[in-house]
Chain A
Amino acid sequence: MAKKDILDLVTPWMIKDGPDGDVVLSSRIRLARNLKDQPFPWHASLETREKVRTKIKKAINPEEFDFLSLEDISSLERENMMESHLLSPQIIADPAGRGVAISKDRLSSIMVNEEDHLRIQSIAPGLDLDVAMKKANAIDDQIEKVLDLAFDEKYGYLTAWPTNVGTGIRVSAMVHLPGLALTNNMPRTLNSVNQLGMVVRGIYGEGTEALGNLYQISNQRSLGRSEEEFLKDLATVATHVIGEERKIRNIVIEKNRAFLEDKVHRSLGTLKEARLIGTNEALALLSDVRLGIDLGLISDAIKPTVQALMQIIRPAHLQKYLGNNLDPEMRDYYRATVIREELAKE
Chain B
Amino acid sequence: MLCDRCNLNPATVHLKTILNGIVEEKHLCQKCAKETGQLQMLNVTNPFSSFFETLLGSMEYQPTLLRSKCGVCNLTFDQFRRTGQLGCPSCYREFNNELQPILRRIQGDVTHRGKIPVRQGGNLSLKRQIEKLRDELKDLVKREEYEKAAKVRDEIKELEEKAGGNQNG
Contact = CB atoms under 8 A, between A and B. Distances in A.
Interface of B (DSSP majority class): loop
A225 B122 CA distance: 19
Given A166-B112, A202-B42, A153 B122 contact: yes
Interface in B8-34: 12-16, 18, 20-21, 23, 25, 27, 33
A36 interface: yes
Interface stretch (A58-66, A143-151, A240-248, A304-312): A143-151
Contacts, number: 183
A225 B113 contact: yes
A38 B91 CA distance: 11
A223 B107 contact: yes
Interface stretch (A5-13, A206-214, A264-272, A295-303): A206-214
Given A42-B1, A43-B75, A315-B18, A153 B43 contact: no
Contacts of B115: 137, 140, 156-157, 167, 226-227
A42 B41 CA distance: 28
Nearest to A215: B44
A166 B107 CA distance: 9
Contacts of A207: 12-15, 33, 42, 44-46
Contacts of A281: none
A165 interface: yes
Contact of A144 (B47, B48, B83, B118): B118
A40 B41 contact: no
Contacts of A315: 18
A93 to B, nearest CB: 6
A18 interface: no
A152 B112 contact: yes
B120 A144 contact: yes
The interface size bin for chain A is 35 or more
Given A43-B88, A206-B12, A155 B106 contact: no
B141 interface: no
B169 interface: no
Contact of A224 (B33, B52, B73, B111): B111
A177 to B, nearest CB: 11
A226 B12 CA distance: 27
A215 B44 CA distance: 9
A39 B14 contact: no
Contact of A202 (B33, B43, B92, B102): B43
Given A43-B88, A144-B120, 16 more contacts: A42-B85, A43-B73, A89-B14, A93-B27, A152-B92, A152-B93, A154-B111, A155-B112, A157-B112, A161-B84, A165-B112, A208-B42, A223-B111, A224-B108, A227-B114, A327-B21
Enumerate the 6 nearest inter-chain pairs by beta-carbon distance, A residue then B residue, closest first. Answer: A224-B109, A156-B112, A150-B89, A167-B114, A223-B107, A207-B13
15 contacts: A36-B120, A43-B85, A89-B14, A90-B14, A144-B119, A151-B117, A151-B121, A154-B110, A156-B115, A160-B85, A163-B107, A166-B113, A186-B43, A199-B47, A220-B46
